[in-house]
Amino acid sequence: MNNPWAMRKIIEKLIEAYERRYWQTNNNTIAELRKLLERTNNNISDQEIIISRAK
């Protein structure tokens, strides 16, 4: 993943659109997006640790 911060924003926007009922999709898609969001957040945390150690 080249830019996990951008990926996180996109996933958050999709979930928000679903929750506000601007976008209709099935529950499996939302569940997968939430799993992907968790993995993306973990990836960001890992990268931030690596960056802070490099300083």
Question: What is residue 2's DSSP assignment?
Answer: -
pLDDT for 39 equals 95
Taking the C-alpha atoms of 17, 21, 24 and 26 in order, what is their torsion angle to the nearest 10 degrees? Answer: 90
pLDDT for 51 equals 81
What average pLDDT does this structure show over 29-54?
A: 91
What average pLDDT does this structure show over 7-30?
A: 98
Q: Which residue has the higher pLDDT, 6 or 49?
A: 6
Q: Does the predicted TM-score (pTM) go above 0.85?
A: no
Question: What is residue 39's DSSP assignment?
Answer: H
pLDDT for 1 equals 65
Instruction: At 29, list the tokens.
Output: 């898609």
